Structures are given as structure tokens and as C-alpha cells.
A and B are shown apart, each in its own frame.
Chain A
């Protein structure tokens, strides 16, 4: 489902974020990506949904080589990948409900589907009662859950989450993890970037360890 072949990423200023990364994550897998801050976790995720392109090597997701994608193919490629961004990326001037419905809309979903689906995912993250609030009226943890709800809303084949529990207290973190496991059990490939070692220990899943752009594998 996700393959990195000899991937290196060097940013414009010469920052080397990833170095010779080779890894495969299979369909339906649940994996963690961990490592200290600045290790390259976010870069790794960005390469998967083609926010960034590799400087060397190839990234293949959903059987598509991201470098070979034509511009006009990018939207359809990204539709199959749900992303929980580290900085949430919610639309500031739209309500919680609109944030989710709007995204479904611009992904091309039929109108009849929108409302029910939006409330369904809001219930999953336990925030259906905040549907009419604006993002700035929510706490960091609540915004994070909205970002999670949005990533789930179109049942993606791959779910990428960048520090999705960074703003949540431990109980809520576990609930969200349980939600990710539930999504995973329906066949979605899940990859979660986190530096929360406690959680990784508890979850007992495949873990990829990044350090200064070098990837090592830990299986438990």
C-alpha cells in the first residue's frame, strides 16, 4: 500500500530530512512512526500524500508513484488518503459542521449523503454537540478531534495522522486510538506519527523509528 524505495528528502536550504529510506507498509496494516522532534516524521507523511516529492528515490502509495502523478491526477490521488495534520488545517471561517460537509462537497460527494455522514463522524469523535461552533471556539484537543473526523469522513484507503494525540489527555488519547483501530479493522491502512512512547508501548503495533532522517524498524 505504501512503499519507500531509496527515498531521500533534501529541502531547499540543504536540510536533509530523510536519508535512504526503504520501507513497505502493507494493505490493512496499523503502524506507528516515531522519533524525536525534527527526525523527519512529518516529512515522511508529506511524501505519502504528495505534499512533497522525494529528492531521490520513489514513493508509491495506492499503487501510484507520486513522482509520476500528473497535476490533474493529484486531487483523486489525495481523496483516497485521509490526513490528520499536525496543525489541524481547519477552515477558520466555517463552523465545525461546515468544515466537514464542505470537504465532502469539494470531494464531489452527492448532497443527500453529506449531513448524515458529517454527523456520523462527529459522533465518532464525540463532538456532535459542537457542530455549530467555529474552530477558534474549540480547545486544541477538540480541534484535533475535528481534524480526525474530517480525515475519516470519506472512508479513505490510507489514514495518516501526524501527532493526533498531541493535544489530548491520556484517556481521550486512548479513545482516539481505539477509534483508529476500529477504522483499521475495516481495512484502512493506518500510519500514525507520534513521539508518545507510552502509547506505542500500550498499543503493541509495528513501529518505525526515525532518527535524523534514518529509518529503523522495531517489531514487537
Chain B
């Protein structure tokens, strides 16, 4: 009960400090929210790359190229059949024109070559995702179809992507650690300044015999509030930034599906990022408050 009442006191006093600190609080919140926004941004990239790679591994995209004399009707029928198979998803029949457009987007030179040719040299193809576990049976099921020219699977470059991804995640972790340190340093110093600004009150409280916890805890609450508000603002700012980037830039990279389809973080990630921010505030301000000495 006593603990509960004390806690209420810390919160009330901490809140009062927080609002009284005005510009200083805002400065601290600004630094925290910039850090958290960048961390949100990088976490989103990490999350999407990771998600994409997992999906690629589990359900890699295959291209089934059909012989050049295959009709569109035959291609459609095969697509329908494939859709009924277990472990198959996202089946799409790619007409030669579409295939060329995609190719031209990726390699402009291919477009030039096509223009100089009379006919489109590309055959019909079917793009689809195949669950790795089901791949063998599906290949078996395709054996009787003579219109299947070749099956192309992207396995060979997955391991390369994975090593890039682990380098990227190391880099992201490094940046995040630097940002966390910078935020902690900022909060620590801002709280030290507010402690200095209230030195008079602190001295009075000590001279009449106040317990240190009542003097120190409100400053810890103040820092925690900075962490909380900086965290929320930063997460909002970061995800706003991602929406803008996605809307204005990433849609251009349609041939890199994971870039154009980048998703925002799931709520649990946001909760984690805000908790991280709160922890930074609590840690830095507790450290600063613990340095208030007895007079």
C-alpha cells in the first residue's frame, strides 16, 4: 500500500518535472524520436528482408517455360491444373509481351534488341511459388506435359542473398547500438541539467530530512516519460517515413517485388521498439539521479 502511494508520488512529481522542464524535455524527446525513427526504419528493412528470404526459402518462385508452339489456351489449362496441386501458390501465366516488358525494365538493352527483331523471341511461361517440401512431387506431376520446356528455380542465389542479409543485419545492429548510446547520453545529460536547475529544492528537501528515494525517483520518472514520448513519436515518424518512401520511390522497383511490397512492422515490433525507448529513458535517468549526493 505504502509502495503504491509512493509510486503515485513519483509519477506525479516526475510528471511535474517533465512539464516544467519545457525546452529541455523537448530537446531530449527530439533526439530520442530521431533515433527511434531511424531504428524503426532499419527494423522495417530488416523485417522485410528477413520475411522475404524466409518466404523465398519456403516458397521459392519458379518459372516454367513452355515450348514455343504452346498456345495460350494450353498455358491457361496448365496453370489451372497447377493451382489444384498442393504446395503451389501465386500461379501466374506470363504472356510473351509481358515477359519482354519485364525484361526490358530490368535490362534496357533487351528492349532494344527486341525492337530490332521481328518477333518476340520469348515463349509463354508460368510463374508460381512452390513449397520446397512439395517441389519433387510437383516436378513429377509435370513430367507427362510435353509443353513444358524447362523449369527454372532460383535456389542457387539464395545463399548469396543470405550472406548479404546477415551483413546488413550486423550493420543495422551497429547503427541501432550507436543510436541507443546517443539517446542514453542525451537523456542522461538533460536529466543532469534539470537536477542542476532544481538544486535549490533538492538541498532544501535534504536539509529537512527527505529520503533520497523521494528526491531521486521523480527524475527517473521524468527520463522514463521522455523515453516513452520519444519512443511513440519516433515510431510514428519512422513508419510515416516508410509510407512516404514506399509511395514515392519503391513503387518504381516493380521487378524487385520485396521492395515495392515492403510492409510496415507488426505491432509486436512497435511494442518492442517503444519498450526499448522506455528502457533507455529509465536507465539514463536513474544513472543521472543516482549521482545526486547527500548534502
Task: Give A residues with C-beta under 8 Å from B.
Answer: 49, 51, 71-72, 74-81, 83, 85, 89-93, 103, 105-108, 110-111, 150
The answer to the question of B205 belonging to the interface, with a C-beta cut-off of 8 Å to chain A, is yes
Would you call B81 an interface residue if the criterion is a C-beta within 8 Å of the partner chain's C-beta atoms? no
Kindly state the separation between the CA atoms of A83 and B205 in the bound complex, as whole angstroms.
12
Within 8 A of A (CB), among B6-20: 9, 20
A78, B294: Cβ atoms under 8 Å? no
- Chain B nearest CB: distance from A65 CB in Å? 17
Return the chain B residue nearest A94 by Cβ: B201
Bound together, the chains give a CA A91 to CA B2 distance in angstroms of 25
B214→A105 contact, CB < 8 A: yes
8 tightest CB-CB pairs across the interface, nearest first?
A: A78-B209, A106-B210, A79-B209, A106-B214, A71-B294, A89-B204, A75-B209, A75-B211
**Do B207 and A51 touch across chains, with their CB atoms under 8 A apart?**
yes
Measured CB to CB, the residues of B under 8 A from A are 2, 5, 9, 20, 200-201, 204-212, 214-215, 293-295
Pairs A–B under 8 Å by Cβ, sample size 22: A51-B295, A72-B212, A72-B294, A74-B294, A77-B209, A78-B206, A78-B209, A79-B209, A81-B209, A83-B207, A90-B204, A91-B201, A93-B20, A103-B208, A103-B210, A105-B214, A106-B214, A107-B209, A107-B210, A107-B211, A108-B211, A110-B5
Q: Given the known inter-chain contacts A78-B208, A91-B201, please indicate yes or no for A105 contacting B2, CB distance below 8 A.
A: no
In the complex, A170→B15 CA distance in Å? 44
Q: Which residues of A contact B205 (CB under 8 A)?
A: 103, 106
User: Least Cβ distance of A186 to chain B in Å?
Assistant: 20
Evaluate contact between A91 and B211: CB separation under 8 angstroms.
no
A107 to chain B, nearest CB (A): 6
Q: Cβ of B207 and Cβ of A49 under 8 Å apart?
A: yes
Task: Name the residue of chain A whose CB is nearest to the CB of B20.
Answer: A93
Q: When the two chains form their complex, are residues B207 and A89 in contact, meaning their CB atoms are under 8 A apart?
A: yes
In the bound complex, CA of A29 to CA of B12 (Å)? 41
Find the B residue at minimum CB distance from A105. Answer: B9
For A85, the closest partner residue in chain B by CB is B207
Q: Closest CB of chain A to B24's CB: distance in Å?
A: 16
Chain B residue at minimal CB-CB distance from A73: B294
CA of A68 to CA of B173 in the docked complex: distance in angstroms? 50
A105 to B209 alpha-carbon distance, docked (Å): 11
A208 to chain B, nearest CB (A): 23
Contact partner of B208 among A110, A111, A150, CB < 8 A? Answer: A150
Q: Name, among A76, A79, A106, A108, the residue most crowded by chain B CB atoms within 10 Å (CB to CB).
A: A106
